[in-house]
Amino acid sequence: MIVIENAEDMCRNTIGKPRVLVPTMGALHSGHGRLISHARSLAGPSGMLIVSIFVNPTQFGPDEDFEAYPRSPGEDQSLCVAAGTDILFQPTVEEMYDEEASGSHYTAADSGLITTLCGPGRPGHFDGVCTVVEKLFRMMKPDIAVFGKKDYQQLAVISKMTRDLKLPVRIIGAETVREEDGLAMSSRNRYLNPQQRCQAPAIYKALQHIKEHGAMEASARIMSAHEIITKEAPLGKISYLQIVDRQTMREIKTIDRPALAAAAVHFGKARLIDNVEIGPIPQDNE
């Protein structure tokens, strides 16, 4: 028997049988597979691994790809079984957003964290993310939840929400999984035609260049990263390419603290995002 005095102790995976949640929107690829396997190891043999699949309408803008978002329920189930999932949670939109069942509850993202990167281009997106994640936490009651670092700003927003609302869940960020040529795995890569697919790795190459570039000034690094994408991915349309403080998600001019270089690039209807951490990586984020 273990004696504990607070909710945090219930969330540490050293105690008992942790419940670990991996929230996804389905269309699972081997990046998700790696994420889910990592979650399985956090849960341990006695813990419980829950994967949720829900394409959340409230995090898509009116001109975004909610309807077209790839769905592959059969393959998703096989991947979940293979990765050791105990419970697959596949709610309907009605289940998640029925007024009677869950109240008309709405959770806003911390406004300070969404002035950069995906924030300005996707108004309401992170509020939708917080709303659905808070609901998932309430319904599935995880001790630990694992999110991919590819959506780094989402990870920051969810971590902040969890702290602000004192939700008894430990948030873990899992490393981005990449194709052999460096392209970050994403369900939206399915949208790419062969030409676009050939050019898309330029995003990661540009971000790596920012990381390895010697200059302290962010602007110089960004400029040469821009050049890489323009030159190697002429089919790509840069939505943003920024260096931000990894804690605050605020743009920085000088890279003198833990930073993040992040980009969003459109290839046709596919909006791809990626990022790399610059500077020390906090221990808890894996």
Q: Please, which residue, 43 or 260, has the CB nearer to a copy of itself?
A: 43
Contact flag: residue 14 with a copy of itself (CB under 8 A): no
* Distance, CA of 74 to CA of 13 (rounded, Å): 31
Residues in contact with a copy of itself, total (CB under 8 A)?
37
Q: Please, which residue, 63 or 99, has the CB nearer to a copy of itself?
A: 99
Contact flag: residue 74 with a copy of itself (CB under 8 A): no
Contact flag: residue 80 with a copy of itself (CB under 8 A): yes
Which of 160, 168, 199, 239: binder of a copy of itself (CB under 8 A)?
168
Q: How far is CA 195 from CA 40, 231, 235, 240, in A?
A: 36, 14, 8, 22
Site for a copy of itself in 97-156 (CB under 8 A): 101-103, 138-143
Residues with catalytic annotation?
Answer: 32
Element (H or E) spanning 137, and its range?
A: helix 125-140
Single-letter residue type at 2: I
Which of 23, 26, 91, 119: binder of a copy of itself (CB under 8 A)?
91
* Distance, CA of 262 to CA of 247 (rounded, Å): 14
Decide: helix, strand or coil at residue 63. coil
Check residue 201 and report its DSSP letter. Answer: T
Contact flag: residue 2 with a copy of itself (CB under 8 A): yes
Work out how close the CB of 59 gets to a copy of itself at its nearest, in angstroms, rounded to a whole number.
20
- Residue 216, token pair as written in the block: 């302290």
Candidates 4-12, 194-202, 215-223, 224-232 — which segment interacts with a copy of itself by CB under 8 A?
4-12
Work out how close the CB of 85 gets to a copy of itself at its nearest, in angstroms, rounded to a whole number.
5
Work out how close the CB of 60 gets to a copy of itself at its nearest, in angstroms, rounded to a whole number.
21
123 Cβ contact partners less than 8 Å away, ≥ 6 residues apart: 61
Give the pairing type, strands 270-278 and 87-89.
Answer: unpaired
Candidates 12-20, 149-157, 190-198, 233-241 — which segment interacts with a copy of itself by CB under 8 A?
12-20
Single-letter residue type at 246: R
Q: Please, which residue, 168 or 258, has the CB nearer to a copy of itself?
A: 168
Q: Please, which residue, 72 or 77, has the CB nearer to a copy of itself?
A: 77
Contact flag: residue 93 with a copy of itself (CB under 8 A): no
Instruction: Judge contact between 286 and 175, C-beta under 8 A.
Output: yes
Which of 14, 74, 104, 166: binder of a copy of itself (CB under 8 A)?
166
Longest distance between any two alpha carbons in the chain, whole Å: 62
Which of 33, 58, 71, 88: binder of a copy of itself (CB under 8 A)?
88
Q: How far is CA 197 from CA 18, 188, 189, 272, in A?
A: 39, 11, 8, 11
Q: Please, which residue, 10 or 238, has the CB nearer to a copy of itself?
A: 10
Work out how close the CB of 1 gets to a copy of itself at its nearest, in angstroms, rounded to a whole number.
5
54 Cβ contact partners less than 8 Å away, ≥ 6 residues apart: 23, 24, 25, 26, 89, 90, 91, 96, 132, 136
Applying CB under 8 A, the residues found at the interface with a copy of itself are 1-7, 10, 15-17, 19, 46, 48, 77, 80-81, 85-92, 95, 101-103, 138-143, 166, 168
